A and B are shown apart, each in its own frame.
Chain A
Amino acid sequence: MKERRKIELSPRILLIVLTVICIVMIVISAMFKRAAKPLSFITGTFIVPMQDGINSVGVWLDDYFDSFESMKELQQKNSTLTEKVNELTQANEELKANQSELDELRALLALDQEYSQYKKVGARVISNGSNNWYRNFIINKGSDDGIQVNMNVIAGTGLVGIVTEVGRNYAKVQSIISDESSVSAMSVTTSDTCVVKGNTEKIQESGMIDVKYISKDAEMNSGDELVTSHISSRYLQGIRIGTVSDIKIDSTNLTKSAQVTPVVDFQHIKQVLVIMELKEVPRDADTVD
């Protein structure tokens, strides 16, 4: 009995045991994606409220110090006006996008959709990821507020990302700048489609991310606005992404690639809007994103 205890207490044995546990967990979670679900429910109930609390204290402090500089009234007015401007810019963008396609679409489908009519829900970013490497974040609204996986997330006038995981009171958002993200996009003026691919390295160096698979014959120009495209399976059409630049032909001579500067300032996202609508596509639809 005494000897067994000695074996149990040796740090090396503990190292081996914990390593084996780690490997088993990695294998299980890689094989069964749902295996970690109950665990994240527990953390969701215990830790998200804490993060939320700290965050609201922070927001309160922010507001408090802000009010020293300017009158509260002005601040409120300013925020509503900014909202209005954002809304109008978005609407304008959509109108521009619609204008170039309007005749064509009317003739074909009599499509009559108003993109600014989407129902949106405001949410606060409560955690910016666990480290400085990972560009996805957590918001304080979850399935209780009707959030579902694959809902689009915007901030101001631009696309931020998409909901990838939903808990009861939180949701994880994959931002469009993260390496895993790819968004089917198109140019507002020429309707050329392309794919906006996240790139965590480039966003740090130059504040831009990649645009790929532009057709060789596309007439897209530097300075064009990119919006989410009509052929995307997960992103609603017409949400602004950014301004395209640096278009050049690929070495394969089949496609062109470019860079896009996102309209959203990803370093300072505090509030986001979740669009409470999912794009409806056939289940086996084959699209780039």
Chain B
Amino acid sequence: MRRIIVGGIGIILCFVCQTALFGMLKLADIAPNIMLILVASVAVMRGQKEGMLIGFFSGLLLDIFYSPYLGIFAFVFMVLGFIDGFFHRIYYSEDTFLPLVLIAANDLVYGFLLYIGYGLLKNHLHMFTYIRRIILPELVYTVAVSVIFYRIFLRVNIWLEQYEKGSVDFV
């Protein structure tokens, strides 16, 4: 139960961070992708199911606010959570390298998916411009920020695990 509440608060805080806070801290007109950091961190720390659920609901929040159709971002984030969850098996909590690599890979995949949605379907075929102006800067900024954010999520996770010690929680 506590995990659900913390998850919900985490999603909302990350959403506000991404849309409002980092909207003001843009570097070169680029904001980092905090929601993606959250989804990848949770998936790798807690496994597929939680990664998918967190991904689904954070994507849904983005959909409600910004997308013409509900469910698109929810689907993308959920699938990312599912794939990241595979790496839960080889993850241990002192390992900071794996989550960062995953976040970088996720952001790359996310960037290309969005290029299809916002670029290719709108007849903008200069993919290199998008890679140079959006995808790569976003990747660098996101990974840099994720060093901080991942630590916070890790702390929260350790705190939750200590609290749950001995009890069984499926969500």
* A interface residue numbers (CB < 8 A to B): 9, 11, 14-15, 18-19, 21-26, 28-30, 35-36, 39-40, 43, 46-47, 50-51, 54-55, 58, 126-134, 136, 138, 179, 199-201, 204-205, 267
Contacts and interface: CB of A to CB of B under 8 A. Distances in A.
A24 B70 CA distance: 9
9 contacts: A11-B49, A18-B74, A50-B16, A126-B20, A130-B18, A179-B118, A201-B129, A204-B133, A204-B134
Interface stretch (B59-67, B97-105, B143-151, B161-169): B59-67
* Interface size class of chain B, counting residues whose CB lies under 8 Å from the partner chain: 35 or more
Nearest to A25: B71
Main secondary structure of the interface of B (DSSP, over half): helix
Nearest to B130: A201
A11 B70 contact: no
Nearest to B65: A43
Nearest to B17: A54
Nearest to B21: A54
Contact of B70 (A28, A132, A267): A28
A270 B85 CA distance: 39
A18 B23 contact: no
Interface string B71-90: 11111001100100100000
Given A9-B170, A200-B122, A50 B20 contact: yes
B154 interface: no
A200 to B, nearest CB: 7
Nearest to A129: B66
A19 B70 CA distance: 12
A132 B134 contact: yes
Interface in B116-157: 117-119, 122, 124, 126, 129-130, 133-134, 138
A40 B64 contact: yes
B15 A47 contact: yes
Contact of A11 (B31, B48, B72): B48
A24 B66 CA distance: 18
The 3 closest A-B pairs by CB, nearest first: A25-B71, A11-B48, A201-B124
A131 B71 contact: no
B19 A25 contact: no
A212 to B, nearest CB: 13
Nearest to B33: A131
Contact of B56 (A11, A18, A128, A136): A18
A205 B131 CA distance: 12
